[in-house]
Amino acid sequence: MRALVYRDGALTLERAYAPPVPAEGEALVRVLMAGICNTDIEIVRGYLNFAGVLGHEFVGVVEELSGRRAREQYQHLLGRRVVGDINAACRRSDCWYCQHAMPTQCPRRTTLGIGGRDGAFAEYLLLPVENLHLVPDNVSDEEAVFVEPLAANFEMLEQVHLHPSDRVLVLGDGKMGQLAAPVLALSGCAVTMLGKHEEKLALAAQQGIETRLLHASEAFTFNADERVDAVVECTGSAQGLELALRLVRPRGTLFLKSTVADKTTLHLAPIVIDEIRVQGSRCGPFEPALRALSLRQIEIKPLISARYTLDNALEAFDYAQQKGVLKVLLHIG
């Protein structure tokens, strides 16, 4: 099959990559469409030492179920469109994380296109049957590709109780911020996006998000009384993090979502003095994300910058790394 493979520092479109064979409990999924995420780009820059097929945002059709239990219990998935949790947990009875309903933190997990498991930029992929979620008929393929990153934003609402009366700031107007803002706004809180790109802020504004343009030269700051209940750091930069700490109120929450690969110099005293909660946040629940799309609560179409075929995946990857580009989709199946 065709697959976009990262190995030994090189990204290659292989045309005769061995098709995967499902192990017991796994489903074989024919990939319809996939999305390029910043994590994919970081992997290609050397983050995480992954080797294999890239890609973890996808929608596909279940073609085969392996093992008797999978065939009996998940028969209803056959031939249907699905999205999938990217973390494949061990689910062993002696695994503390699996037994405490935290499969995404299982220390023996593999992660689709990120760690120990081939990903979605290929004609076929494998995932454990438990990871799959049916896509409602009124959710398009292009929308379904956004379920994984949307779910990751719903994780913040799982971790911290945001009140409808809270004020929240999304720092950064890129892909991550564009999904964080509308998801957090569902909680009723007042969300403002702070960014440096007029045209990207305009996209958020179209969704009813308050926006504020941050000029590169501006030493942006808030008065003590303006500081907000929560800040989501979506810039992935050390300066963004420092700014976030100045904008969150005492006893507020600072969500860290981007895995800044390099070491960051950080003044920790403000975290202690202001008793800030710095909350790391990664993968999240798929069902709320599917509901939000099915209920038309979140509009993702304006975030699609370009569509490519798998044959043009290398070109798509180049384009995804250009300034100003949001989501790049690969039409595969």
By the criterion CB under 8 A, which residues form the site for a second copy?
A: 96-97, 102, 105, 107, 155, 159, 224-225, 241, 250-251, 256-261, 263-282
In the complex, minimum distance from the CB of residue 250 to a second copy, in angstroms, rounded to a whole number: 4
DSSP 3-state of 132 = strand
Give the nearer residue to a second copy in terms of CB position, either 107 or 208: 107
Give the nearer residue to a second copy in terms of CB position, either 90 or 306: 90
In the complex, minimum distance from the CB of residue 134 to a second copy, in angstroms, rounded to a whole number: 26
In the complex, minimum distance from the CB of residue 255 to a second copy, in angstroms, rounded to a whole number: 9
**What is the separation, in whole angstroms, between the first and last Cα of the chain?**
11
Which residues make beta-bridge pairs with 288?
none
Q: How many other CB atoms are found less than 10 A from the CB of residue 258?
A: 22
In the complex, minimum distance from the CB of residue 96 to a second copy, in angstroms, rounded to a whole number: 7
Give the nearer residue to a second copy in terms of CB position, either 241 or 328: 241
**Closest-CA residue to 204 (of 245, 175, 162, 165):** 175
**Closest-CA residue to 294 (of 133, 167, 153, 178):** 133
In the complex, minimum distance from the CB of residue 239 to a second copy, in angstroms, rounded to a whole number: 13
Enter the tokens of residue 183.
């998801």
Give the nearer residue to a second copy in terms of CB position, either 133 or 249: 249
Give the nearer residue to a second copy in terms of CB position, either 18 or 224: 224
On whether the CB atoms of residues 121 and 330 are closer than 8 A, the answer is yes
In the complex, minimum distance from the CB of residue 290 to a second copy, in angstroms, rounded to a whole number: 22
In the complex, minimum distance from the CB of residue 275 to a second copy, in angstroms, rounded to a whole number: 5
Give the nearer residue to a second copy in terms of CB position, either 278 or 325: 278
In the complex, minimum distance from the CB of residue 100 to a second copy, in angstroms, rounded to a whole number: 9
> Taking the alpha carbons of 284, 253, 212, 216 in that order, is the dihedral positive or negative?
negative
On whether the CB atoms of residues 154 and 284 are closer than 8 A, the answer is yes
Give the nearer residue to a second copy in terms of CB position, either 143 or 229: 229
In the complex, minimum distance from the CB of residue 26 to a second copy, in angstroms, rounded to a whole number: 24
CB-count burial class (<10 Å; 0-12, 13-18, 19+) for 11: middle
Give the nearer residue to a second copy in terms of CB position, either 41 or 278: 278
H/E element, 278: strand 277-280
On whether the CB atoms of residues 62 and 132 are closer than 8 A, the answer is yes
DSSP 3-state of 263 = coil
Give the nearer residue to a second copy in terms of CB position, either 216 or 269: 269
On whether the CB atoms of residues 232 and 209 are closer than 8 A, the answer is no
On whether the CB atoms of residues 37 and 326 are closer than 8 A, the answer is no
Q: Tell me the C-alpha distance between 321 and 41, whole Å.
A: 7
